[in-house]
Amino acid sequence: MSPRKIAVIGGGSFGTAIANLLAENGHATCLLLRDERRAEEINTHHVNSAYLPRLHLHANMRASTAIADAVAGCDIVFMAVPSTSCREASRQLAPHIVDGAILISTTKGIEAGSYKLMSQVITEEIGNIRLGVMSGPNLAGEIAERQLTGTVIASADPDLNRTIQQVMHSSYFRVYSGNDMYGVELGGALKNIYAIIAGMAAALELGQNTVGLLITRGLAEMSRFAVELGANPLTFIGLAGVGDLIVTCVSPLSRNFRVGYGLGEGKHLDQIVAELGQVAEGVNTLKLVKLRADELDIDMPLVQSLYGVIFEGLSMVDAVSSMMAREQNRDVEFVFEH
């Protein structure tokens, strides 16, 4: 398709990887970030040494610290900021984004206090836009290395989905479409909790049977919670559900997995976060989901146990014993009866 002007809000590892992919596809892409020195480094040396030091950035990509400059003339904007920054970033973007522009949220999380998803936050702050969400098994480091990757773009607007498929598709990046925005967003947010649990299991050298148990029961909890909030359970058998869950639960590239691994080694949460130097969304999401599950009376034993370990001093041995002593329920809840 014809080259487009595209802005990516957020200069972390994922924002950088997506901006570079778009630039490789021939689009004039601007990455908005806050650090002047990092913007200068990207524009002069074509590298973001703070997040993806081994990736040589394409010449079609530039960086800016001025939001009006970054989005000027852009009819497609990607939001790639932490969930805690999404509302403020949306508020700052609102006066500058073109009416009718496509805005794609890649942010994975739930807003504290309101329990709103990022699409809901963005809709409240920005008026006349066409909104979609994107999620899947998309580790930024592997995208940067051009590893074969698939993602999901979800929107109620089929034309929006087709446009994003066209601008992002490449020899190593494939985009599938859907219409369950809540399901895709919740899959991206909730899986971070179970990645922490999987990291703990890895540090404790638990067996592969255990990993399989944790991933599948995590998927059951995710879909149970999401359906209560209006998502389609079938979304969770796709890339944004089980696909993303598997990747974050087995890969040491996942920040949330590394948080869990550090906890399994006996480190304090503050020390782990300081060592990471990046936001691990799963810790904040855990707090919110636990409280919301309590309010809605949703059975989420893994969430309850992890919350007890991190915030209430529950030992990992007691957490495992408690889960194994629970009543044995049916395996698959959302099935079509013949």
Catalytic residues: 191
H helix intervals, the chain: 13-24, 36-45, 67-71, 86-93, 118-125, 140-144, 158-168, 181-203, 208-228, 244-250, 255-264, 269-276, 281-296, 301-311, 316-324
**Contact by Cβ (8 Å): 97, 269:** no
Q: How far apart are CA 42 and CA 31, in angstroms?
A: 9
**Contact by Cβ (8 Å): 144, 20:** yes
- SS3 label, residue 173: strand
Q: How far apart are CA 122 and CA 131, in angstroms?
A: 9
Pairing of strands 149-154, 130-135: antiparallel
Residue whose tokens read 């957020």: 10
**Contact by Cβ (8 Å): 18, 89:** no
Q: Describe the chain by its helix, strand, coil percentages, rounded to 5.
A: 50, 15, 35
Reference 71, options 51, 91, 87, 94; nearest CA is: 94
Residue whose tokens read 């130097």: 277
Q: How far apart are CA 200 and CA 262, in angstroms?
A: 7
